[in-house]
Amino acid sequence: MFAEHFIIATILIFSAVQRPAVTTSECSTWGNFHFQTFDSAKFDFTGTCRYVFASHCKDSHQDFSIQIMRSIKAGTAIYFMATIDGVLLEVKESGITVDGKT
């Protein structure tokens, strides 16, 4: 009987502790210009310009940003740029650079 009360008390204590909300979501792109947004909406975008795929929405895009450019011919990504914590990663047909260095 004591063990049952202890378990209930423990559950009540932990449920009273406030924890910050952790939200996870993902976006993706594949094939010939197919996309899925963070809220699971799916669409096709056949743009061949360089565009922001994902970034912080309330910041100046300095610490996290992913940009992509696709080829209309093959539908494959021909340019990929990611900035994460100020480190710039670029993937191009000519090669990969990190902060401008190969």
pTM given for the model? 0.61
pLDDT at 22: 59
In a domain, 78, yes or no: yes
What residue numbers bound the domain in which 37 lies? 26-98
pLDDT at 19: 58
In a domain, 93, yes or no: yes
Answer for the pair 8, 18: CB distance below 8 angstroms, yes or no: no
Token couple for 32: 């010939």
In a domain, 13, yes or no: no
Answer for the pair 70, 78: CB distance below 8 angstroms, yes or no: yes
pLDDT at 42: 94
- The contacts of residue 90 (CB under 8 Å, 6+ apart) are 79, 80, 81, 96, 97
In a domain, 21, yes or no: no
- The contacts of residue 46 (CB under 8 Å, 6+ apart) are 32, 33, 72
The tens digit of pLDDT for each residue in 61-90 reads 567 888 888 876 765 667 888 888 888 888
pLDDT at 59: 63
In a domain, 18, yes or no: no
In a domain, 65, yes or no: yes
The tens digit of pLDDT for each residue in 55-64 reads 877 766 567 8
Answer for the pair 48, 61: CB distance below 8 angstroms, yes or no: no
Domain count for the chain:
1
